[in-house]
Amino acid sequence: MNRSIVGWIVAIILAFGGAALAWVWFAGGSGEPTTELTTPTIASAPTSEPSSSDTVSSSSGTDVDDSPIGSQAFVIDPIQSIVSFEIDEVLQGSPQHVVGTTDQVVGQVQVDLDDLSSAQLSQIVINARTLATDSGRRDRAIRGPVILNSASDEHELITFDVASIEGLEGAAGPGDSLEFSVTGDLLIRGNTNEVTFEVVVDVIDTSTLEGSASAQVLRSDFGIGIPSVPGVANVTDEVLLTIAFVAVAG
């Protein structure tokens, strides 16, 4: 092939690659949040009885007027809490384990430590725009329209609306560790899927709960793609989501 033709092909490829990178850069915005997070309230308890002794229902909504006697609200403390995602990719031919984190998370649980089955959870809200990895360029791509589209005000927030809690019963006190699961609707960039988080909670004292909730999801289920830019390949569909939290009595 004529060298001049080869040169033009290379130039075109570089031009398109540069344009793609520029598009990713500007579409990602600054990463500064525009929505101030406030702790959601807890909806009134359901009128019907749960289907089993270890399953209760809850969701976000208005303030609780009929909270069980002895129940206490524990509010997630963003200063001591971290939301993270983990995913694997191949960047410039090198395998990478990517971790993104943010402390912009709010939510609360209403629970009587003498009757754990009465526990209720509010909606959990996360500001997706503030998620950050070890690369500013990657962060801009994550905020862009192909991945989370969190630079858009419409998709700035990720929400989780709890439908049921399973495996939480009996009583607990300081020093006890609890394991249970929480199922609900996870909303990311306008797409909602049912997800179950496996939860571990340590009762530090009567005013402090510390724990983590984890779930593995598929990015394709939420319409999350990968930008077509040079050097990025083989990004896994599986994403590990984790909330490491401290909740204090409110």
- Domain 3-249 annotated CATH 2.40.128.110: yes
DSSP lists the bridge partners of residue 214 as: 198, 242
> What mean pLDDT do residues 15-29 have?
48
Token pair 């949040």 is at which residue? Answer: 33
* Closest by Cα among 225, 80, 250 to 147: 225
Q: What is the pLDDT of residues 109-144, one digit of tens each?
A: 999 999 999 999 999 999 999 999 999 989 999 999
Q: What is the pLDDT of residues 139-179, one digit of tens each?
A: 999 999 999 999 999 999 999 999 999 999 999 999 999 99
Give the Cα-Cα-Cα angle 50, 52, 56 (nearest 5 degrees): 45
Q: Are 29 and 8 in contact (CB under 8 A)?
A: no
Q: Are 73 and 110 in contact (CB under 8 A)?
A: yes
Q: How far apart are the first and last CA of the chain?
A: 73
At residue 65, does pLDDT exceed 50? no
pTM: 0.79
Check residue 234 and give its pLDDT: 82
> What mean pLDDT do residues 55-65 have?
41
> What mean pLDDT do residues 181-210 have?
98
The pLDDT-based confidence of 17 (bands split at 50, 70, 90) is: very low
Number of neighbouring beta carbons within 10 Å of residue 62: 9
Domain ranges of the chain: 3-249
* Closest by Cα among 221, 224, 245, 241 to 84: 241
Check residue 39 and give its pLDDT: 97
